């Protein structure tokens, strides 16, 4: 088998009873109901030297690498972004958060994980209820208009996760996200979009070895199961995402993916938002904090599924967008 191509995104593109749940890393091959984080690629070299695409000397580097990266812009979903998202299954959005927003979110994640074991992979649900910096991300303008373009005016924040990957974590296998109770890929082929998942990068992942995500582009469109016993290194199209703090990875829950090992001396932090139709149960919380619902904004209250109207399907009025 030829060496796999793990396309790196290191190149920077020019730019002018209410109890939050703790989820555990999924076993290899299992579906994750959390944000995709538990399966990190184990490599003896810590992914420090990833295989590079084999190029003929005359090939243009820009055409071969940079233009393969499915970049997007913060804000509304463009026609090109929609086509690329449907084809590839994800978008990388640099500068989705400002430097101040990123720093505040990172500090918030440090607080919510404080006092818990530092050598364990972990994701904590519904942390936005007690951390204003994370609350501001659940309807962030860099992503919310894209969710509206994909779902229409009726969708919810089905879950959110503050995820930490400790130094030395090696991880597991490839999986799709969704529900362990029912595989969304069994609904139809291609797998329909049920969860729009966005991971906001809060620590440096601009090079391999930082717990980076690895995805199989376009794999949400296949009706074939994974080859038996395959690891991420067996796929010639595997794509390692590298990104700076403040970037966002927005992806279809059906894209097969895993994480990569963290060989850094610091934990990797991400905050995930998962949008879904209003009929999908929450997975990060049993109910939303009444105190949070009382003090938050109308849009965020609506995203919790608490914006009700008896005459609407699922007792839900359209989200209160300004237009």
Could you give the CA distance from residue 161 to residue 37 in angstroms, rounded to a whole number?
10
Cβ atoms of 84 and 65 closer than 8 Å = no
Task: Please tell me the predicted confidence (pLDDT) of residue 172.
Answer: 67
pLDDT score of 186: 73
Residue with tokens 């999908």: 280
* Token couple for 103: 């720093």
At 47 the pLDDT is: 37
Separation of alpha carbons 8 and 53, rounded Å = 10
Residue 210 to residue 169: CA distance in whole angstroms? 10
Cα 161 to Cα 168: distance, rounded to the nearest angstrom:
21
Domain 61-221+235-289 class, CATH top level: mainly beta
Counting every residue, how long is the chain?
A: 323
Determine contact, residues 203/266, Cβ cutoff 8 Å. yes
Q: What angle do CA 89, 128, 311 make, to 5 degrees?
A: 75
What is the 3-class SS of 66-129, one letter each residue?
HHHCCECCCCCCCHHHHHHHHHHCEEEECCCCCHHHHHHHHHHHHHHHCCCCCCCCEEEECHHH
Cis? peptide before 155, omega within 30° of 0? no
187 contacts 247 by C-beta, under 8 angstroms: no
Report the pLDDT value the prediction gives residue 298, as an integer from 0 to 100.
95
pLDDT value for 44: 33
If one counts every other C-beta atom within 10 angstroms of the C-beta of residue 284, the result is 27
Nearest to 20 by CA among 160, 135, 204, 147: 160
Q: Which two tokens stand for residue 46?
A: 């810590």
pLDDT in tens, the chain (323 residues): 444 334 333 333 434 333 334 444 444 444 454 444 433 333 333 333 333 333 333 334 333 455 589 999 999 999 999 999 999 999 999 999 999 999 999 999 999 999 999 999 999 999 999 999 999 999 999 999 999 999 999 999 999 999 999 999 987 688 898 866 778 777 777 889 999 999 999 999 999 999 999 999 999 999 889 999 898 889 999 999 999 999 999 999 999 999 899 999 999 999 999 999 998 989 899 899 999 999 999 999 999 998 667 777 777 789 999 98
């Amino acid at each position: 088998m030829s060496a796999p191509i793990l396309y790196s995104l290191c190149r920077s593109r020019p730019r002018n009873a209410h109890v939050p749940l703790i989820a555990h890393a999924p076993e290899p091959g299992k579906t994750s109901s959390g944000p995709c984080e538990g399966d990190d690629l184990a490599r003896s070299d810590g992914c420090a030297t990833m295989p590079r695409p084999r190029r003929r000397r005359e090939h243009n580097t820009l055409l071969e690498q940079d233009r393969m990266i499915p970049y997007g812009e913060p804000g509304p979903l463009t026609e090109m972004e929609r086509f690329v998202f449907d084809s590839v299954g994800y978008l990388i959005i640099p500068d989705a958060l400002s430097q101040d927003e990123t720093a505040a979110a990172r500090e918030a994640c440090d607080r919510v994980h404080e006092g818990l074991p530092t050598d364990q992979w972990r994701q904590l649900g519904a942390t936005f209820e007690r951390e204003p910096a994370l609350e501001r991300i659940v309807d962030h303008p860099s992503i919310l208009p894209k969710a509206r373009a994909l779902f229409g005016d009726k969708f919810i924040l089905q879950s959110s996760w503050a995820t930490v990957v400790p130094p030395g974590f090696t991880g597991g296998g490839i999986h799709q996200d969704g529900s362990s109770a029912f595989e969304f890929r069994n609904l139809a082929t291609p797998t329909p979009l049920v969860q729009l998942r966005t991971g906001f990068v809060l620590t440096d992942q601009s090079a391999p070895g930082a717990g980076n995500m690895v995805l199989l582009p376009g794999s949400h469109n296949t009706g074939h199961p994974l080859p038996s016993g395959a690891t991420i290194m067996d796929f010639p199209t595997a794509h390692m995402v590298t990104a700076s703090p403040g970037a966002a990875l927005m992806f279809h829950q059906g894209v097969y993916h895993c994480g990569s090992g963290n060989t850094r001396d610091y934990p990797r932090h991400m905050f995930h938002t998962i949008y879904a139709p209003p009929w999908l149960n929450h997975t990060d919380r049993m109910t939303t904090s009444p105190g949070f619902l009382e003090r938050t904004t109308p849009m965020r209250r609506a995203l919790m599924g608490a914006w009700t109207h008896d005459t609407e399907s699922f007792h839900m009025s359209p989200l209160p967008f300004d237009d």
